[in-house]
């Protein structure tokens, strides 16, 4: 099962992808998390990506293609994967088809498009706290860590992402509209798109996501 989460920054892609991954036992492949790990480890990719990510722009397509190709070739992705944050433009969507067909003629099964209004997104991102240890996401109001400071899953001190500052959030929303939103039509024309109301609390959205995948 190869699922793709599509949606603006803060829509809940990471939150819902993590739940699906637990339920179906297939990995969540978050290109944002992979790039942040590369930045933290100061790899060649990380050094190149840091300033681009901090300003909310997209890292180049070739770098992403390599990351995703390598990740999907790992054994734990044999039974499928949940892509969170890839593809992000039509060139990446075309590349993804190539990566999948090269690997045992797999293909995208379903695209889960989380729809959330812009004011709700800003609210979610401004109070997000992320775990640099295990990539869990919290929200100071909607999904608070028990002690307000540390990750409930692994105990690491939570951070605010550099690109969750208000000015960068606005730029990310612009990049989403210009580059990523065209994928709604791209996948709709291929009959793969499922529109999911991404508003409401995390459990409500999960019920909709889960029902869509079981269809
Ligand atoms: P990435 O990490 O993918 O960021 P994003 O797409 O902007 O998405 P977010 O992670 O901000 O949001 P999300 O939808 O995962 O929401 P979440 O579940 O955390 O990418 C970061 C950067 O990496 C990019 O800007 C780019 O530079 C680079 N990059 C990554 N992929 C790339 C690619 N393919 N090509 C090029 N560059 C790439 O939820 C948000 C908050 O809301 C959390 O606090 C959460 O607890 C809370 N929340 C979630 N659901 C709910 C709910 N229902 N109700 C209330 N609160 C909720
Ligand atoms: Mg995310
Ligand atoms: Zn953690």
Ligand with minimal distance to 156 CA: 3
Res 83: pLDDT: 98
Angle at 165 between CA 138 and CA 116, to 5 degrees: 60
CATH of residue 6's domain is 3.40.50.300
CA distance 13 to 33: 12
Res 77: pLDDT: 95
Res 103: pLDDT: 76
User: Does 133 map to a domain?
Assistant: no
Buried b / exposed e over 94-127, threshold 16 CB at 10 Å, is ebbeebbeeeeebebebbbbbebeeebbbbbbeb
User: Does 101 map to a domain?
Assistant: yes
Overall domain count for the chain: 1
Q: Ligand 1 in contact with 202 (CB < 6 A)? A: yes
Ligand with minimal distance to 46 CA: 1
Centroid of ligand 1 to alpha carbon of 103 (angstroms): 27
Res 164: pLDDT: 95
Q: Ligand 1 in contact with 27 (CB < 6 A)? A: no
Centroid of ligand 2 to alpha carbon of 47 (angstroms): 20
Centroid of ligand 2 to alpha carbon of 32 (angstroms): 6
User: Does 33 map to a domain?
Assistant: yes
The per-residue pLDDT of the chain, averaged, comes to 96
CA distance 113 to 119: 18
Pocket test for ligand 1, best of 19, 40, 137, 176 (most atoms within 8 A of CB): 137
Contact 106, 2 (CB under 8 A): yes
User: Does 142 map to a domain?
Assistant: no
pTM given for the model: 0.96
- Which ligand 1 atom is at minimum distance from the Cα of 5? 14
User: Does 126 map to a domain?
Assistant: no
Tens of each residue's pLDDT in the chain, 215 residues = 999 999 999 999 999 999 999 999 999 999 999 999 999 999 999 999 999 999 999 999 999 999 999 999 999 999 999 999 999 999 999 999 999 998 776 899 999 999 999 999 999 999 999 999 999 999 999 999 999 999 999 999 999 999 999 999 999 999 999 999 999 999 999 999 999 999 999 999 999 999 999 98
Res 106: pLDDT: 87
Pocket test for ligand 1, best of 17, 85, 125 (most atoms within 8 A of CB): 85
Ligand with minimal distance to 60 CA: 1
User: Does 78 map to a domain?
Assistant: yes
Tell me the residues surrounding ligand 3 (ion) with CB < 5 Å. 131, 133-134, 136, 151, 153-154, 156
Range of the domain at 41: 2-116+179-214
User: Does 151 map to a domain?
Assistant: no
Centroid of ligand 2 to alpha carbon of 132 (angstroms): 13
User: Does 50 map to a domain?
Assistant: yes
């Amino acid at each position: 099962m190869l699922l793709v989460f599509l949606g603006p920054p803060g829509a809940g892609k990471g939150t819902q992808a993590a739940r699906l991954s637990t339920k179906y036992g297939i990995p969540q492949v978050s290109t944002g998390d992979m790039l942040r790990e590369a930045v933290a480890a100061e790899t060649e990719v990380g050094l190149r990506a840091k300033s681009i990510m901090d300003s909310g722009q997209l890292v180049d397509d070739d770098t992403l293609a390599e990351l995703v190709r390598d990740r999907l070739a790992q054994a734990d992705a044999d039974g499928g994967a949940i892509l969170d944050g890839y593809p992000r433009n039509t060139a990446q969507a075309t590349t993804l088809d190539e990566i999948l067909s090269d690997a045992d003629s797999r293909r995208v099964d379903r695209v889960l498009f989380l729809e959330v209004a812009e004011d709700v997104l800003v609210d979610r991102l401004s109070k997000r706290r992320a775990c640099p240890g295990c990539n869990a996401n919290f929200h100071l109001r909607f999904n608070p860590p028990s002690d307000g400071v540390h990750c409930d899953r692994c105990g690491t001190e939570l951070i605010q992402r550099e690109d969750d500052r208000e000015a960068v959030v606005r730029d990310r929303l612009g990049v989403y509209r210009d580059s990523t939103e065209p994928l709604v039509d791209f996948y709709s024309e291929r009959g793969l798109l499922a529109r999911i109301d991404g508003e409401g609390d995390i459990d409500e959205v999960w019920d909709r996501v889960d029902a869509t995948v079981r269809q």
